Amino acid sequence: MKKRLFDGFVRVVSATLPAKVADCSYNAEQIISGMRRAAGDGASVICLHELCVTGYTCGDLFLQDTLIKSARAALSHIARECADLPLIAAVGLPLVHESKLYNVAAILSGGKVLGFVPKTYIPNYVEFYEMRHFTPAPTDIQTIRFDGYDVPFGTRLLFRCESDENFTIAAEICEDLWVPSPPSSAHATAGAVIILNPSASNETVGKAQYRRALAALQSGRCACAYLYSCAGHGESTSDVVFSGHDIICENGSVLAESMPFADGWAEADIDLYALAFDRRKMNSWRSDPSGYRVVEFSCLEGASLPDLKRRVPSRPFVPDDAGERNARCEAILDMQVAGLEKRLAHTGARTALIGVSGGLDSCLALLVTERAMKRLGHPVSDISALTMPCFGTTARTKSNALALCEALGVPCAEIDITDTVRRHFGDIGVSEDSRGVVYENAQARVRTLVLMDLANKTGGLVVGTGDLSELALGWSTYNGDHMSMYGVNAGVPKTLVRHIVKYVSDTVPALRKVLEDILATPVSPELLPPSDGKIEQKTEDIIGPYELHDFFLYHAVRWGRSPSRILLLAEAAFDGAYTAREILKWMRVFFERFFAQQFKRSCLPDGPKIGSVSLSPRGDWRMPSDAAVSEWAKELEDLGERHSLTKNG
């Protein structure tokens, strides 16, 4: 079997094929055709619907010798005809073993049956009457002689690629998923990463939504990929109809599905390594392979996938759907407000102090602080906003800071720190003409000094403005804007900050004008003098686009992905927007800064966790400040060399 792993990605198919009730020969040809189509698409796994060899609605014909023998012969034919396909397939049929009839999924590969997995839970209620024909699966693993070789028969079977243990498959059948303790839960803890479910779930009003939720939830609970294939066109419609609703889920999300009564073909690339990472990360995950038998299949080096059949969002922190995005923004505001509200109440702070620059981050922090004060029943006059212009401040950002405070009814004072910074330069022997790091950082540290001392004077608390993206990149001045008494934006990446501010702009008309101008202003620390009154120092020109850095952050921290896998995903997500060379350039910046700037994250102020990625040293992220980036840098260098060779070749 040729390898179809694409740097940890495996293409899978969940399919409903045309069928004729009790016509095993016709059905076998449809199955062969479907398997060849899947292999031609580069798939490694295909899950076909329950009893697809005979059809699910055969009724008492299941007990007939003719149908039973025809099904067995059809399976032999399918295995022989598909022996050359680099594919694992789940094919459903009725099978007699020790005088009992079982509803089984035959797992095929390389021209042979690797195992027979019988159905555990046999429904016999409302429209289902399977107990009339089928026997529940035995509890032990037995052996069936098939086509001259022994085949394991039982539910506790794992089918594992001999060269990659992450590529491990198990199966359950239809009703098995709908019970309180699905067999797939045990399969997953035994080591299965891909669960196949050949099903014949009939269609009723509302059932598709429930089925989808059930499959997605089980994939999340089991940290696995879940392939659900459902019977469809061709089944008898005497009393029920079947819709061919096929679903592919991964770790709680639906990757692909064929909608009911549509084409009956769902295809996606699942990420085995990300699933393995999640299992490693969760110490509540308990592996228990006891009672299971591993059946290995060959997974030799060979052709890889030509592309990535997987939707890769370019903004992983930001929902695409407008309604979902707005709900997410409101929920985040609620979390930020709740965190700050508790801190203000606990410390007994009489005021909340915040430095407003006219930029996005301080804008969001001020919006959160205003809501928190209202929630506490305090007047907004208890907020002390400060604008502290210096060498790099532009009229645009200063006027926006003042306009936002005015619109919110928040008093805003101005303290020009230019003379203070100049005196400080004189004290430490630094020329104002020197545009180095001291020139920039001194301004940030003086601003923090002013805020902290005023907080002491007024019995207040300094609200931090720095966001998650800046923390990842270390784009802050140590003991300057890096420090506060509570960092409300610490869990919000820059791409999401922008959408939250946009959400407030859209929902609060009184703030729209000023917020729209803040959103249109280039991101800048404004520490270098402007040019012709315009911002000279643009953050994204220096360290790279935040949309790329947020993408790198999400995939590196949330999923533990390597640079090569991040590049693969980024090329798919930003196709046409950035070249591979540009992505690699800014990824180098990301990893170099992420490692070098950990010392700033190691002593962060408190702040609320917002999403699945957090860099709090007390919460999610524990990393030594002197960890070496060399292994990541080597991989990036190799990627750059390979890209150059490919491009030049």
581-609 pLDDT, tens digit per residue, is 999 999 999 999 999 999 999 999 999 99
Q: Which of 50, 130, 235, 341 is catalytic?
A: 50
Short-list 440, 425, 514, 502, CA closest to 477: 440
CA distance 575 to 312: 10
Instruction: With beta carbons less than 8 A apart as the criterion, state whether 119 and 128 touch.
Output: no
3-state secondary structure at position 273: helix
Strand partners for 295: 159
Q: How far is CA 244 from the centre of its chain?
A: 27
Calculate mean pLDDT across residues 396-418: 96
What is the average per-residue pLDDT within 518-527? 91
Q: Which two tokens stand for residue 341?
A: 């509200």
Residue type, 422: R
Tokens of 32: 């062969």
Strands of the sheet containing 293-297, edge to edge, are 253-258, 246-250, 225-230, 194-199, 164-171, 157-161, 293-297
Interatomic CA distance for residues 65 and 423, integer angstroms: 99
Centre a 10 Å sphere on the Cβ of residue 599 and count the other Cβ atoms it contains.
12
pLDDT at 301 over 50: no
Query: What mean pLDDT is predicted for residues 189-211?
Result: 95
Query: For 176-297, where are the E strands, in sequence order?
Result: 194-199, 225-230, 246-250, 253-258, 265-271, 293-297
C-alpha to C-alpha distance for 48 and 35, rounded to whole angstroms = 9
Q: Which of 614, 621, 615, 612 is nearest to 251 (CA)?
A: 612
Do 200 and 174 contact (CB within 8 A), yes or no? yes
Q: Which of 3.40.605.10, 1.10.10.60, 3.30.1490.100, 3.40.50.620 would CATH assign to domain 322-648?
A: 3.40.50.620
- CA-closest candidate to residue 235, choices 197, 203, 267: 203
Residue 382 predicted with pLDDT over 70: yes
pLDDT band at 562 (very low <50, low <70, confident <90, very high): very high
- The predicted-structure confidence for 85-102, as pLDDT tens digits, reads as follows 999 999 999 999 999 999
Which of 308 and 131 is assigned the larger pLDDT? 131
Catalytic site residue from 24, 161, 174, 222: 174
What are 430's two structure tokens? 């630094």
163-168 long-range contacts (CB < 8 A, ≥24 apart) are 163/3, 163/299, 163/300, 164/5, 164/272, 164/299, 165/191, 166/8, 166/193, 166/272, 166/273, 166/275, 166/276, 167/5, 167/10, 167/44, 167/193, 167/194, 167/272, 167/299, 168/192, 168/193, 168/194
Instruction: Report the alpha-carbon distance of residue 621 to residue 369 in Å, rounded.
Output: 26
* H or E element at residue 104: strand 100-109
Residue 200 near residue 242 (C-beta atoms within 8 A): yes
Instruction: Give residue for tokens 């170099």.
Output: 592
DSSP track, 562-614 = -HHHHHHHHHHHTTTTS-HHHHHHHHHHHHHHHHHTHHHHTTPPP----SS--
Catalytic residue among 3, 119, 309, 398: 119
For range 205-222, the mean pLDDT: 96
Average pLDDT for 540-565: 96
CA distance 30 to 143: 28
Q: Which tokens is 521 given?
A: 């202003």
Kindly state the percentage of the chain with pLDDT values over 90. 88
Q: Average of pLDDT values for 225-230?
A: 98
Q: What is the pLDDT of residue 302?
A: 41
Q: Which amino acid is at 290?
A: S
Residue 371 pLDDT level (bands cut at 50, 70, 90): very high
Q: Are 497 and 333 in contact (CB under 8 A)?
A: no
CATH superfamily of 5-297: Carbon-nitrogen hydrolase (3.60.110.10)
Active site residue 603: no
* Cα separations in angstroms, 565 against 124, 304, 557, 639: 47, 14, 13, 11
Residue with tokens 């407003």: 356
> What local confidence, expressed as pLDDT, does residue 305 receive?
63
CA distance 122 to 97: 17
Q: How far apart are CA 349 and CA 352, in angstroms?
A: 7
Per the CB < 8 A criterion, the answer to whether 370 and 506 are in contact is no
The domains of the chain are located at: 5-297, 322-648
Residue 502 has pLDDT above 50, yes or no: yes
pLDDT band at 304 (very low <50, low <70, confident <90, very high): low
Dig out the tokens for 124 from the structure: 């016999």
Tell me whether residue 50 is one of the annotated catalytic residues: yes
Q: Is the pLDDT of residue 274 over 50?
A: yes
Closest Cα to residue 328, out of 615, 611, 614, 620? 611
Within 8 A by CB and 6+ apart from 253, the residues are: 216, 219, 220
Closest CA to 523 of 501, 505, 551, 552: 501
Strands 9-15 and 5-6: antiparallel
649 pLDDT more than 50: no
Helix (H, G, I), strand (E, B) or coil at 481: coil
Tell me what percent of the residues of the chain surpass a pLDDT of 70. Answer: 97
Q: Which residue(s) pair with 194 in the sheet?
A: 169, 225
Confidence (pTM): 0.91
The DSSP bridge pattern shows strands 383-387 and 412-414 to be: parallel
**Confidence at residue 163, expressed as pLDDT on a 0 to 100 scale:** 85
In the predicted model, what is the mean pLDDT of residues 34-59?
Answer: 96
Give the pairing of strands 5-6 and 253-258: unpaired
pLDDT at 426: 95
For residue 5, pLDDT beyond 90: no
Q: In terms of Cα–Cα distance, which of 408, 21, 431 is closest to 236?
A: 21
Amino acid code (one letter) for 186: A
pLDDT at 27: 97
CA–CA distance, 384 with 351 (Å, rounded to integer): 7
Task: Please answer whether residues 407 and 358 qualify as being in contact, where contact means their C-beta atoms are separated by less than 8 angstroms.
Answer: no
* Alpha carbon distance 448, 199 (integer Å): 62
* pLDDT for position 645: 61
**Count of other CB atoms within 10 angstroms of residue 347:** 13
How many CB atoms neighbour CB 586 within 10 A? 18
d(CA 455, CA 420): 19
Q: Per-residue pLDDT tens for 110-168?
A: 999 999 999 999 998 888 889 999 999 999 999 999 999 999 999 999 999 998 899 99
Q: What is the pLDDT of residue 2?
A: 39
What amino acid is encoded at 315 in this protein?
R
Per-residue pLDDT, 128: 84
Classify each residue of 375-407 as buried b or exposed e, where b means 16 or more C-beta atoms within 10 Å of its C-beta.
ebebebebbbbbbbbbbbbbebbbebbbbbbee
Report the phi/psi class of residue 344: left, alpha or beta, with left for phi > 0 and alpha for psi in -120 to 50.
alpha
Catalytic, 119? Answer yes
Mean of pLDDT over the chain = 94
* Amino acid (1-letter code) at residue 473: L
Question: Backbone phi, then psi, for 452, in 5-degree steps?
Answer: -65, -45
